[in-house]
Amino acid sequence: MFKGKVALVTGSGRGIGATIARHFATLGADVVVNYFRNPGSANETAESIRKLGRKALLVKANMGEIEDIERMFAVIEQEFGGLDIYIHNAASGYNRPVMQQRAKGWDWTMNINARSLLFATQRAVPLMDKRGGGAIVAISSPGAGRVLPDYVVVGASKAAIESITRYLAVELAPKNIVVNAVSPGMVLTEALQHFEMVRADVNLAEKAVSITPAGRLVNPQDIAEVVAFLCSPAAHMIRGQVITVDGGASLLAPGLGKVQPSPE
Ligand SMILES: NC(=O)c1ccc[n+]([C@@H]2O[C@H](COP(=O)([O-])OP(=O)(O)OC[C@H]3O[C@@H](n4cnc5c(N)ncnc54)[C@H](OP(=O)(O)O)[C@@H]3O)[C@@H](O)[C@H]2O)c1
């Protein structure tokens, strides 16, 4: 589906990003694997893409630093000459209660998660222009609209991502660039270990399944499939939307809904 296309997936050394990167390679794209702190897992992702017969360009860049973003896009231009797909997946954050937050944690989180979407897009657009258009998908989170424990600054950054997504969708439409967001439910990755409540409750995943009508947790491949769809011609008329992929977990009113056993 994406043969001859170039896809950048930020934070794709591990977790959901790594699965998205491999999925695009499976569908024929060459992939830019961006990482920040963990070159080992990023190398593994790149190798698995090469084994699929696709090109993998490994770029270390802190998405919270404008200079790093500029350098990354310069490397992409040099290597591929253009870009078709930008998946804004990398995220970080200071998980603390409201009263323990500090300005440094706010800046860190907002810059890596949200500011980067706006300014990386500014660099991506000229490269997409060279291809006659493109697709951008930002990964949000339920914390954008609901209250999760210790999540205030990440939640605010995700709300910003969803807002930026709508502006980009409108202002980049004349350039034939399609912009949307995906909001995953709970996915078992290392990210969850940053939550005190996850570390404290070994049964949390089980509890999450019990409130999920689809009968299981979301996995990274579920997210990768929807992200790829949003970059495909079939999704051309979907613009500026946040697609929730949570097996229906957010549908039930607390204490009132009942999950039926799922056939899956
Ligand atoms: N897991 C969930 O339940 C869940 C639910 C909703 C939304 N999400 C969202 O899904 C996305 C992926 O989450 P995940 O669970 O896969 O997270 P993860 O396992 O913690 O992985 C985070 C990724 O982001 C990269 N990263 C972190 N800081 C970076 C920076 N400054 N610059 C560039 N890359 C950076 C990491 O790279 P290095 O290791 O190289 O530093 C890593 O590849 C995030 O946007 C997250 O908010 C996750």
Q: Is 158 a catalytic residue?
A: yes
User: Is 200 or 263 the better-scoring residue by pLDDT?
Assistant: 200
CA 256 to centroid of ligand 1, rounded, Å = 33
- 189, 190, 209: residue to mutate for ligand 1 pocket, most atoms within 8 A of CB: 189
CA 113 to centroid of ligand 1, rounded, Å = 9
pLDDT in tens, 28-45: 999 999 999 999 999 999
Handedness of CA 178, 182, 188, 192 (dihedral sign): positive
Burial class (CB in 10 A: 0-12, 13-18, 19+), 165: buried
Q: Are 72 and 116 in contact (CB under 8 A)?
A: no
Handedness of CA 139, 245, 228, 58 (dihedral sign): positive
Q: Which of 109-113, 122-126, 202-206, 257-261 has the lowest mean pLDDT?
A: 257-261
SS (H, E, C) 179-221: EEEEEECCECCHHHHHCHHHHHCCCHHHHHHHCCCCCCCECHH
- Identify the pLDDT of residue 25: 98
Which residue's alpha carbon is at the smallest distance from atom 39 of ligand 1?
A: 38
39 lines ligand 1 (CB under 6 A): no
pLDDT in tens, 87-102: 999 999 999 999 999 9
Decide if pLDDT at 195 tops 80: no
Section 172-192 average pLDDT: 95
Decide if pLDDT at 158 tops 90: yes
- 8, 31, 36: residue to mutate for ligand 1 pocket, most atoms within 8 A of CB: 36
pTM here? 0.97
pLDDT in tens, 45-61: 999 999 999 999 999 99
User: HSE of 217 in the Cβ direction (CA atoms, 13 Å)?
Assistant: 12
Section 234-246 average pLDDT: 98
**Which residues have a Cβ under 8 Å from the Cβ of 146 and sit 6 or more positions away?**
155, 250
Q: What are phi and psi of 216, to 5 degrees?
A: -155, 170
